[in-house]
Amino acid sequence: MRIATRRAAGLDEGGWTDELRSEVEEYFDKLASDWHTRTSPGRTAIVADALDRGLSAMNPELGLAVEVGSGTGAYSHLLSGYFARVMAVDLSSEMLKRAPTGPAYRVLADGARLPLRDGAASAIALINAFLFPAEVARVLSARGVLLWVNSSGEQTPIHLSVDELVARLGGDWTGMSSRAGEGLWCAIRRNER
Ligand SMILES: C[S@@+](CC[C@H](N)C(=O)[O-])C[C@H]1O[C@@H](n2cnc3c(N)ncnc32)[C@H](O)[C@@H]1O
């Protein structure tokens, strides 16, 4: 997962190819039936903290939030408590099958090619999920907020440091980062010109 994380983000050579996408899809399809065992009150509290403190610090528009790599949807309800609409995107049909039908709209898609127009999202949430920098930059609105959560901090299989995250996004970003329990998170947005 570390290699795939870095290739998706453009940090390592190879990039996000059709072959890698198929491997990742198959990998998570196989894990889907047990994925609920990876949720816990502690992990939920990390996401709740990121939303509570991170979002309030960023003061975003509260229109559409896009949760990329939403898995079985354990955190979608938390996002829907803040945003008017939540679109939860995942590559794995087996993960999506196990997610609740609401309150988020569930979409089978690749986070590298989101079915959204430019600037459509008030926020993008990546909770233990791959960063596709160009797609995040394209889909976020001018004041849009990127929420990045690693539930097991640096031990998270899909982990990037905040410095790596910002470097790959390019341009000028501002925000806050914090630790919560075993996790770490950051909430950032582009600096206004
Ligand atoms: C580590 S799991 C995290 C799931 C959930 N966010 C959580 O924290 O429990 C990563 C999720 O991202 C999905 N995923 C992997 N590559 C993706 C891609 N290119 N586009 C959308 N989802 C992807 C996987 O299918 C999986 O459900």
What is the tally of structural domains in the chain? 1
Output the domain CATH number for residue 154. 3.40.50.150
Beta-carbon contacts of residue 73 (< 8 Å; ≥ 6 apart): 88, 98, 99, 100, 104, 106
For ligand 1, whether the C-beta of 90 sits within 6 Å is yes
Q: What percent of the chain clears pLDDT 90, i.e. is strictly above it?
A: 97
170 lies in which domain range?
Answer: 2-190
Q: How many angstroms separate the alpha carbon of residue 71 from the centre of ligand 1?
A: 5
Q: What percent of the chain clears pLDDT 70, i.e. is strictly above it?
A: 99
pLDDT at 192: 76
Question: Is the distance from CB of 76 to CB of 67 less than 8 angstroms?
Answer: yes
Residue of minimum CA distance from atom 16 in ligand 1: 91
- The model's pTM is 0.97
Residue-wise pLDDT for 126-166, tens only, equals: 999 999 999 999 999 999 999 999 999 999 999 999 999 99
Distance CA 146, CA 144 (A): 7
Tell whether the model's pLDDT for residue 193 goes beyond 90. no
Average confidence score pLDDT of the chain: 96
Q: How many angstroms separate the alpha carbon of residue 193 from the centre of ligand 1?
A: 33
Residue 26: other Cβ atoms inside 10 A: 12
Q: Which two tokens stand for residue 161?
A: 């440091």
Residue-wise pLDDT for 28-45, tens only, equals: 999 999 999 999 999 999
